[in-house]
Structure 1
Amino acid sequence: MFWIQPGSPTLLDVDEIAENMYEAIPLLYPVDTDYMILSWNRIPIAVNYHTDVYVFVYDIVQLLEDIQTANFADAYVSTGSSDFFAQWWIRKEKDELVIDSHWDTVVGNYEFLLNERSRLTVETAVLTGEWLKLLRRLVDDLTSKSVRMKDEDLFLRTKALLARPPSGTEA
């Protein structure tokens, strides 16, 4: 089981021009706000918008772009933040993705349980649709607060993913 609940994080006004989407995210969300909840094999994981999401958003966008290519076979993603650090080795098997993971740090200190349930098998459309919920939250929030960025490449790539979700998903 894999799902994402984006939550309703508080938004800050951002007066400065961020370098890129990566840097805009922690400017937009305060440290103490609603968390995103990610469910991995029925284990809920709290992910902080301010300190965690920005660290891996590029990797998620890249993964979703890669998954949509005809020759996608495998990928590696590392979340890399201090409160949400995991490594995912992803391979495609027909219409599903098999993800082998290793969890180093999560809020609540139950990495041992996640590592006991480290393998996740999920339909490609489901995984994509769930991550698109988070990306939609980010794009909508950045847009609603008119956050300006010098380099909009990642932001535009994210919007492009949202404009053409794969069939069979709901974002």
Structure 2
Amino acid sequence: MANYMSNNIEEVHEYRILNKQLATLKVQAGFVEGVAEGKRTFNDITKMYGSIFGNNKEYCVILWNGIPFRLSYTEDLPCIIVPFSKMLKTLLERTEKEWQIDFKSNHFEACWYFSLDKNQMLTISGNFYKVAGGHEKAINTLAIVRIAEEDFLKEWKLLLEQYLKGYEDSGSVLKNINDLFIIEDLKNANNRIKNKALRYQYDKR
């Protein structure tokens, strides 16, 4: 239940998932255009991606149990590159049975708690503190997502490719060794995640 005050009258809203197909996590990456080139050197990977995606007006939209929120390519995705890399690496390497990932950017702040069972089903419990549009309460009423590990990884494949292609196409140079390790972790994840989500798998005939 979500409770809030409006015009001094308490309104109570109950959010339910009406379609079982929505009871999951889906990632709709945007169209990346106008990657900034110039072979610039950066001391920080966040600033690098802020430059690479600086001309992009698109959004990455995430459906959390059917409730959407968006991430800006210019203001949000550069800021979450480090936790994004850690999220994929932890899952692929199975270094933990339970772990948490903290995200923080201009329009998005959340903590996701992960657990993986013996059947490779992933449970994600989210605490959302800030999303674009201000509907954190709605998402927090449906805070738990269950999704097969393989499907979860497929959802992020296209965005992962966009991060890597943006880096390669821009010719950017990273000076910090830890940032270079992050790029290597992203490349490794991309190699290990073989397929995108089904809706991205086009017929090539």
CA RMSD of aligned residues (A): 1.9
Contact 2:92 2:189 in 1 (8 A): no
Indicate the residue corresponding to 1:6 in structure 2: 29
Contact 1:31 1:48 in 2 (8 A): no
Partner AA of 1:7 in structure 2:
G
Indicate the residue corresponding to 1:24 in structure 2: 48
Contact 1:9 1:35 in 2 (8 A): no
- 1:140 pairs with 2:165: yes
Indicate the residue corresponding to 1:170 in structure 2: 196
Change (3 A) 1:112 1:14: farther
Correspondence for 1:63 among 84, 87, 110: 87
The aligned runs of 1:1-171 (5 Å cut-off) are 1-10=24-33, 11-30=35-54, 33-70=57-94, 72-94=96-118, 95-151=120-176, 152-165=180-193, 169-170=195-196
Contact 2:39 2:171 in 1 (8 A): no
Judge which range, 117-126 or 51-60, deviates more: 51-60
- 5+ residue gaps in structure 1? none
Contact 1:60 1:131 in 2 (8 A): no
Return the offset for 1:107.
0.8
Equivalent residue pairs, number: 169
- 5+ residue gaps in structure 2? 1-23, 198-205
* TM-score between the two structures when normalised by the length of structure 2: 0.75
Q: Which structure has the greater CA radius of gyration?
A: 2
Distance in 2, matches of 1:31 and 1:111, equals 28
Partner AA of 2:28 in structure 1:
Q
Distance in 2, matches of 1:74 and 1:126, equals 18
Which segments of structure 1 move beyond 6 Å, counting only runs of 4 or more?
A: none
Contact 2:37 2:169 in 1 (8 A): no
Return the offset for 1:22.
2.7
**Cα-to-partner distance string for 1:30-85 (whole Å, 9 max, x where unaligned):** 27610111111111111011211122221121121111234530111111113011
**Cα-to-partner distance string for 1:124-147 (whole Å, 9 max, x where unaligned):** 111112122211111012212222
Partner AA of 1:164 in structure 2:
R
Say which structure, 1 or 2, has more relative contact order (CA 8 Å, 6+ apart): 1
